[in-house]
Structure 1
């Protein structure tokens, strides 16, 4: 890919993609009819400023980039061998599926544990839940330790266990980044590609960010299988909100857990 190495692209392109795709959703945020929460709710319910969110995301991305550089350096020879074997699109599909399952599995169990362990939730994971009303560029707003444990280590495991090359990782991690941003965008757009392919979407994850759903819908970013298998799946419906837009409704919304 030109004069830039695959390792550098695999490290920094997902970061660029994160801000570009978030910017796309910032522009679409003016379409109030597709918002899952009103602008007033976003301003009132969220417990952290957008400036603080940007700083937090940049810190996490700095840590991710540092770990990625180390990972690519350590696995350099093995990655070169893997790249030589990738002559088939079927190989790439298999690697992507393995990486998706590994990432989902790691994040489900780590995410769920951070909710059930009171110390970890209070001091670490609650930072992400200061965004009661999620928005696109807040997708990676986490405590730095959570970012390292959930996202960075999860990404490293999916890379290593799938056997993908640095070149393949460019596409996988850019795709995973877009999916994560989409899940936090706070919008339900008609014809959304991700809503067609995945049941894990912006409405599904919005349930988790609400008080009544905080012990449900832990799965991210791709599938809902672990929630289904382990009984933490909370079904929902989308209804028109009084005053415009949409809202996510569940049977337990007014009953608590």
Structure 2
């Protein structure tokens, strides 16, 4: 019975964030279809994007299949490495404050991991041309395209980066389910192509749909590398490009670099 519970915990830890990704993507796509919060008109998305939604869907599913396999391996390795602990690897911190500290540390580690790798992907012309440019075929990003990467790059940025953050923070497998689910939500959020003024994540994090959307545009390609939570690496290292969002008369919002406002 204990083995079954441990195995089920690993499966839950692997598949729940994937499910959260698609549920939240569906909500965002439904909101975008209303046109009320879009940062780009539909025609602009159709004209500028260099890949079809069908191909993006297939690419994301392939990415997630590899993610699932690697996650199962990592979670089993985590459990095995902690098997000698008296409280077991599913033990939780003694207080919510300790758990919050683990989450914050994991966020900071993941942000650092993704900022420097992401920036290097742009700085290295070979890596950009043959790997990262695939992600930028979505000039006008949308929710479920958040994980549209070349598979090795996506695994390095997201899967491996996520587990480095979890191990560095010391959180349990049970806690990691919630962390990876939050990461899934934030990845979708920054790629949703919308500005939602009332969204609570906009109040909690500086990295949002408008901030990262600007990075996908011509004027922002060398800026706003931070993802998925905070923006302080951009500010510290001079790659921060502020944005200006204005409401369109015909509906939705217009996004521009603040220096052009």
TM-score range, shorter chain: over 0.9
Shift of 1:149: 1.4
- Displacement of 1:79 in angstroms is 4.4
Task: Say which is worse superposed, 85-94 or 192-201, in terms of deviation.
Answer: 85-94
State which of 13, 38, 41 in structure 1 corresponds to 2:41. 38
- The answer to whether 1:47 aligns with 2:50 is yes
CA distance in 1, matches of 2:92, 2:213: 41
- Give a deviation string over 1:188-245, Cα, whole Å, max 9, x none: 1231011111111000001100011000000000000100000000011101235332
Task: Please list the CA deviations of residues 141-180 of structure 1 after superposition, one character each: whole Å capped at 9, or x if unmatched.
Answer: 0111111211111011011111111100110000110111
Q: Are 1:186 and 2:189 counterparts?
A: no
Q: Cα gap change, 1:20/1:207 in structure 2, threshold over 3 Å: closer, same or farther?
A: same
Instruction: Please state if 1:167 is matched with 2:174.
Output: yes
Q: How many residues align?
A: 253
**Hey, what's the Cα distance between the residues in 1 that align with 2:139 and 2:216?**
5
Distance 1:6 1:243, change over 3 A: same
- Give distance in 2, aligned partners of 1:63 and 1:253: 41
Q: Kindly state the Cα deviation for residue 87 of structure 1 after the two structures are TM-superposed.
A: 2.5
1:104 equivalent to 2:111? Answer yes
How has the CA–CA distance of structure 1 residues 139 and 253 changed in structure 2, closer, same or farther, with 3 Å as cutoff?
farther
Regions of 4+ moved over 6 Å: none
> What's the offset of the Cα at 1:83?
3.1
- Alignment check: 8 A CA contact 2:24 2:188 kept: yes
1:79, 1:165 within 8 Å by CA — same for their partners in 2?
no
Contact residue 33 and residue 244 of structure 1 kept, 8 A: yes
TM-score (norm 2): 0.92
Number of the residue aligned with 2:23: 20
Q: Structure 1 residue 73 and structure 2 residue 76: aligned?
A: yes
Question: Scaled by the length of structure 1, what TM-score is found?
Answer: 0.94
Give the alignment partner of residue 227 of structure 1, picking from 234, 247, 256.
234
| Structure 1 residue 146 corresponds to structure 2 residue 149 | no
Tell me, in whole angstroms, the C-alpha distance in 2 between the residues paired with 1:104 and 1:220. Answer: 6
Q: How far 1:26 moved relative to its partner? A: 1.5
Look up the SS of the partner of 1:32 in the other structure: coil
Contact 1:79–1:166 (Cα < 8 Å) also in 2: no
The change in CA–CA distance for 1:23 and 1:119 in structure 2 (over 3 A counts) is same
Structure 1 Cα separation of the partners of residues 89 and 260 of structure 2: 48
Query: Aligned partners of 2:217, 2:36: CA distance in 1, in Å?
Result: 20
1:252 to partner: Cα distance:
5.1
Q: Which residue of 2 aligns with 1:94?
A: 101
Match status 1:239 vs 2:246: yes
- Residue 211 of structure 1 corresponds to which residue in structure 2? 218
- Report deviation, 1:31: 2.2
CA distance in 2, matches of 1:140, 1:85: 30
Deviations 1:112-139 (A, max 9, x none): 0000100000000000000000100000
